[in-house]
Amino acid sequence: MKKLLLLTGLTILLMAQVVLAAPTEQGVLDLLDVINKPLNGVVSTGLVGGEPLPGLPNFTVGTGVAAYKVDYKDINTGESKSTYFPTVFATARLGLFGGFSLPAVSGIGSLAIGARLGAITAGPEHSVTVTGGEVRVGLLNDSLSTPGVSVSFTYNQVSDIKFGKDSDDAQATIKAHNMGVKAVVQKELLIFTPYAGIGQEKFSTEATYRIDSLGLNKSWDKDSTETRFLAGVEVSPVPFFRLGVEYNNVGGDSAYALSLRFKL
């Protein structure tokens, strides 16, 4: 693993290059620790959305870009740095059940499912994909008299990321996934729909690594739980289209997302 490029080809790299001319086990472990947090952020960051709550009629498809900000220390120099990890994503959400009508509110108990596909460009011959799913339950539907309240259960994972070639002395392969739950409150005001939420995320990262010169072939894993705060707004300048911007704070790090969606 003479040269390890962290997600090469991103707009800004977490580290320009990690050179391990004589790889050591501690050096590989340090690298995995550095990668872990931003990788988890990239996997889980997307637009939660403030569109009308799940239920019928409700079908949306859209695309956007998310950027996850990370503050870190260069493991070579110890210098404090910041960077953004962008992902391009597409989303879809389908209402399955409109909920139950009540006299005092517009409805409760609606249900929708969603899917997410993202891509992290990591060089001309290699890309990392992010896939995810969502189940969203409407606790209270958005109406003239009440705000909308929903809870989302999400799962996201990233395709295997390999550092180093098969012919190199050292190599590592990383897998990451996360599960989360989020509560979101929104209020549709003419063409604007502001919303805010809070959630909990559980991140899991697993890796295998080998160093041939040291006769090592081992596995590594790390779990963490972070709180997510989010706020955003969607604007409907023309019928059926929604332009959204969203801010997330995950474990003290910031993420920003911008999307355009088509709604039926």
Residues 6+ apart with CB under 8 A from 6: 13, 14, 15, 18, 34, 35, 163
Whichever domain contains 191, its CATH number is 2.40.160.20
What span, in angstroms and rounded, lies between the C-alpha atoms of 60 and 130? 19
pLDDT at site 98 = 79
Q: Which domain holds residue 150?
A: 3-263
Tally of domains in the chain: 1
* pTM for the structure as a whole: 0.82
Rg (C-alpha) for the chain, rounded Å, is 21
pLDDT of the chain, 264 residues: tens digit per residue? 333 333 333 322 333 234 344 567 777 777 777 777 777 776 776 666 766 666 666 788 989 888 877 776 665 676 777 777 778 889 998 888 877 777 666 667 788 899 989 887 544 445 678 899 999 988 888 777 788 899 999 999 988 877 777 777 777 888 889 899 999 999 988 899 999 999 998 989 998 888 888 888 999 999 999 898 999 999 998 988 989 999 988 878 888 888 898 887
SS3 35: helix
SS3 214: helix
Q: Which residues pair with 14 in a beta bridge?
A: none
pLDDT at site 155 = 92
